[in-house]
Amino acid sequence: MAPDASEGGAGRLALFTCLSAIVLAFAVAFATAIGDYRIGLGTVFLSITNELGLTGAKVAPIEQSVVWNLRLSRALVAALAGAGLAMCGAILQALLRNPLAEPFVLGVSAGASTGAVCVIVLGIGAGSLSLSLGAFAGAFAAFALVALLSNGATSGPNHTILAGVAASQLFNALTSYIVTTSGNAQQARDVMFWLLGSFGGVRWPDFQLLLGVVVVSLVICAWMARSLDAFTFGDEDAAALGVPVGRIRLILFGVTALLTATIVSMVGAIGFVGLVVPHAARYIVGPLHLRLLPACAVVGAVFMVIADIASRVIATQQTVPIGVVTALVGVPFFAIILYRARPQT
Amino acid sequence: MSVVAENLNWGVKRKAIVLGVSLTVAPGETLGLIGPNGSGKSSLLRLLAGLRRPDTGRVEINGQDIAQVSRKALSRQVAFVQQSVATDTNVTVVDVVRLGRTPHRSAFAGWSEADETSVAEALDRVDMASRRKQAWQTLSGGERQRVHIARALAQAPQVMFLDEPTNHLDIHHQIEILRMVRDLDLTSVVALHDLNLAAMFCDRIVVLQDGAVRVCGTPHTVLTRETLRDVFRVSAYVDISPYHSQPHIRFSAV
Ligand SMILES: Nc1ncnc2c1ncn2[C@@H]1O[C@H](COP(=O)(O)OP(=O)(O)OP(=O)(O)O)[C@@H](O)[C@H]1O
Ligand SMILES: [Mg+2]
């Protein structure tokens, strides 16, 4: 018998896992059905099983193609992006011991935007570089600067956060400088729109890449989950519990930076998911990371798929940037958690 | 397990904080560490526990230089109770005590019967078994201190370093905790401010002053009127307690 499970509510955890898997499946199905051109859930199901070679039902080829090539890949990338951002948020909140930490505190999104404008506005790479590659390079440049400013992220949480703030300011200033001096209004708008997030252009290769990165990150982080728990009372306390603090910090910062940079370069800097979801997940499964990280992944995935659906239905004939939706959906949700978790005084 | 420190020196930016400290703690012995604020007690404990690298000198635990031992292996033998800790995370008492099992568990190992037993025993020892589900944030200062001592016990150490473990504790628990540390079959070094408690529960006492060892020996030899005057700047009478035949100190207000 594992008292760990009996005490922490194994039943509750199992229920949560089953429920969230079902909700995720439904959310993806709806995301695939809904759009300018509505497709019935039955057709969605048959199209997918057809493509997987499980059935040979008759489905209009155009519908099958829309379901498989456009919408399913998009919904799954949304799910993975949500999962990745939420995990990064949980890890950074633990490592930096700051409930306000989120995936972009280390300057990654600011760096990505600078990289993106370098490609779009300055035309660096003369068309050979895609916007995504530029954004990825920028994101990593920002992270490298933060690592440098905080001695390889070893000089304490607040120092690291300040280094992240400095890097964000620097790269945001660079972005503004480039846009105002050499961009035109349209280019500036493009960059803005891209930064606020969009799943518009994603296809299967994006999904495969992101799936690989998310799975590898999840495995590494789950491997270190026990060490993350030990950070509850600070770095020195973690060291007294046998955690090689410097190494763990560096590896986990590296993983979160890689994951965030991949997501940002693919779908833009979608805010709020990485901040809100870890708090919600902690509220459901408790603070221990071996449960919290998978829970974040699932809740983040559901949240992002629903936000993507919302972004397509709230304004007809138009797609609202996903970052706007996550904030609009996230804030009330966050308010509820804050209200329910307020100190009992 | 024995603890041996040889000529430890540590400082920051040209300020020497620990100065040429050498000491030996025999297996099973309880060593008291006393000295005024800022005399380097906490710093010395961190060096002994391997949480800081000394600039020169070395620490041996059970004959092994701790600089050569991995963090994890060291923490299976050595527990450290800090002077004060805090967290913003919403954890329960039992979650905190379970952290003490960290060095004994691999990444995905389940929670074993042995883990559960040491956690339950540790909570019992500090009188917190009935509070295991309470949120750590809502505990009183003394209860937090006891939970941290329980966590160190759950670590099943053979050497324990305690930095002012009696902080915030009521007099009953001060005595209980120190009695427990003395009677447990482990080597311990305890930083204390209460000189009478140090006299009652420590086999030997080290007096630190400005980072250096001023005197070291049994309570009788260390706690003298002269030392108290020179190191702690108080005038005091020392006599022998009829209860435990250790020195008993009474302070004079003039
Ligand atoms: N990282 C540091 N940087 C600068 N000074 C330090 C550092 N750590 C300790 N000190 C200084 O070293 C001295 C010894 O500190 P330490 O915490 O060891 O004292 P202590 O004997 O434990 O005191 P207390 O009884 O108040 O707990 C103090 O003057 C402190 O200000
Ligand atoms: Mg101290």
pLDDT score, position B186: 92
B45 and B168 assigned to the same domain: yes
Residue B171: other Cβ atoms inside 10 A: 10
A242 contacts in chain B (CB < 8 Å): 71-76, 102-103
Mean pLDDT of B12-38: 93
Confidence of residue A14 (pLDDT cuts 50, 70, 90): confident
Show the CA angle centred on residue A175, arms to residues A173 and A180, nearest 5°.
95
- Cβ–ligand 1 distance for B167 under 6 Å, the answer no
In 3-state terms chain B splits into helix, strand, coil percentages (rounded to 5) of 35, 30, 35
Q: What single letter denotes the amino acid at residue B227?
A: T
Residue predicted with more confidence, A14 or A115: A115
Residue predicted with more confidence, A37 or A137: A137
CB contact under 8 A, B102 and A226: yes
- Cβ–ligand 1 distance for B38 under 6 Å, the answer yes
Tell me which residue has its CA closest to atom 26 in ligand 1. B37
Mean pLDDT of B33-62: 94
B125 and B143 assigned to the same domain: yes
pLDDT score, position A3: 41
Please provide the distance, in angstroms rounded to a whole number, between the alpha carbons at the two ends of chain B: 44
In this predicted structure, which of A131-135, A168-172, B70-74 has the lowest mean pLDDT? Answer: A131-135
CB contact under 8 A, B102 and A224: no
* Residue B163 pLDDT greater than 80, yes or no: yes
pLDDT score, position A188: 75
Last-in-domain residue among B106, B135, B156: B156
Confidence of residue A6 (pLDDT cuts 50, 70, 90): very low
In this predicted structure, which of A312-321, B180-189, B192-201, B220-229 has the lowest mean pLDDT? Answer: A312-321
What's the domain range around B41? Answer: 1-77+158-223
Best of B82, B101, B111 to mutate (most A CBs within 10 Å, chain A): B111
Residue A290: other Cβ atoms inside 10 A: 18
CB contact under 8 A, B75 and A242: yes
B73 and B162 assigned to the same domain: yes
- Cβ–ligand 1 distance for B41 under 6 Å, the answer yes
Mean pLDDT of B146-166: 94
Q: Which residues contact A261 (CB under 8 A, 6 or more apart)?
A: A108, A111, A112, A135, A136, A139, A140, A143
| DSSP codes joined into one string, A207-248 | HHHHHHHHHHHHHHHHHTHHHHHHGGG-HHHHHHTT--HHHH
B12 in a structural domain: yes
The CATH number of the domain holding residue B64 is 3.40.50.300
3-state SS class at A194: helix
B168 and B142 assigned to the same domain: no
* pTM of this structure: 0.88
Work out the percent of chain B whose per-residue pLDDT is above 90: 74
pLDDT score, position A212: 95
pLDDT score, position A37: 79
Best of B45, B69, B90, B149 to mutate (most A CBs within 10 Å, chain A): B90
In angstroms, the CA A17 to CA A285 distance is 10
* Residue A152 pLDDT greater than 70, yes or no: no
B233 in a structural domain: no
How near does any CA of chain B get to the CA of A175, in Å?
Answer: 35
B130 and B194 assigned to the same domain: no
Mean pLDDT, rounded, of chain B: 92
- Cβ–ligand 1 distance for B46 under 6 Å, the answer no
pLDDT score, position A63: 85
B4 and B31 assigned to the same domain: yes
* Residue A254 pLDDT greater than 50, yes or no: yes
Chain A residue with Cα closest to B102: A241
B12 and B53 assigned to the same domain: yes
Confidence of residue B165 (pLDDT cuts 50, 70, 90): very high
Residue A335 in contact with partner chain B when CB distance is under 8 A? no
Show the CA angle centred on residue B155, arms to residues B154 and B159, nearest 5°.
120
In this predicted structure, which of A149-158, B6-15, B46-55, B164-173 has the lowest mean pLDDT? Answer: A149-158
Confidence of residue B129 (pLDDT cuts 50, 70, 90): very high
pLDDT score, position A344: 53
For the beta sheet containing B204-209, the strands, ordered from the edge strand earlier in sequence to the opposite edge, are B78-81, B159-163, B187-191, B30-34, B204-209, B212-217
Bridge partner list, B58: B6
The 10s digit of each residue's pLDDT in B107-124 is 777 788 889 999 999 999
Q: Write the CATH number of the domain with boundaries A3-340.
A: 1.10.3470.10
* Residue A5 pLDDT greater than 60, yes or no: no
pLDDT score, position B32: 95
Q: Which residues contact B224 (CB under 8 A, 6 or more apart)?
A: B238
CB contact under 8 A, B102 and A227: yes
B253 in a structural domain: no
The 10s digit of each residue's pLDDT in A181-219 is 876 778 777 777 777 888 888 888 899 999 999 999 999
Mean pLDDT, rounded, of chain A: 85
In angstroms, the CA A135 to CA A131 distance is 6
User: How many domains is chain B built from?
Assistant: 2
- Ranges assigned E (strand) in chain B: 3-12, 15-25, 30-34, 56-61, 64-65, 78-81, 159-163, 187-191, 204-209, 212-217, 236-240, 247-251
B165 and B152 assigned to the same domain: no
pLDDT score, position A176: 86
B50 in a structural domain: yes
B165 and B180 assigned to the same domain: yes
B98 in a structural domain: yes
pLDDT score, position B254: 67
Last-in-domain residue among B99, B127, B156: B156
In this predicted structure, which of A245-249, B79-83, B104-108 has the lowest mean pLDDT? Answer: B104-108
CB contact under 8 A, A240 and B94: no
Q: Which residue has the tokens 């400013």?
A: A149
B252 in a structural domain: no
- Closest C-alpha to A82, from A328, A263, A330: A263
The 10s digit of each residue's pLDDT in A226-236 is 999 999 998 88
In 3-state terms chain A splits into helix, strand, coil percentages (rounded to 5) of 75, 0, 25
Residue predicted with more confidence, A179 or B4: B4
pLDDT score, position A167: 92
- Cβ–ligand 1 distance for B39 under 6 Å, the answer yes
Ligand 2 centroid distance, CA of B38 (Å): 7
Please, is B20 exposed, middle or buried when counting C-beta atoms within 10 Å of its C-beta (0-12, 13-18, 19+)? middle
pLDDT score, position A240: 93
B119 and B179 assigned to the same domain: no
Domain ranges of chain A: 3-340
Bridge partner list, B65: B60
B70 and B164 assigned to the same domain: yes
Ligand 2 centroid distance, CA of B40 (Å): 7
pLDDT score, position A67: 86
* Residue B36 CA, closest ligand 1 atom number: 25
Last-in-domain residue among B107, B129, B156: B156
B47 in a structural domain: yes
CB contact under 8 A, B75 and A233: no
The 10s digit of each residue's pLDDT in A19-78 is 988 999 999 999 988 877 788 888 888 888 888 888 887 888 888 888 888 889 999 999
**CA B117 to centroid of chain Cα atoms:** 23
Mean pLDDT of A259-272: 89
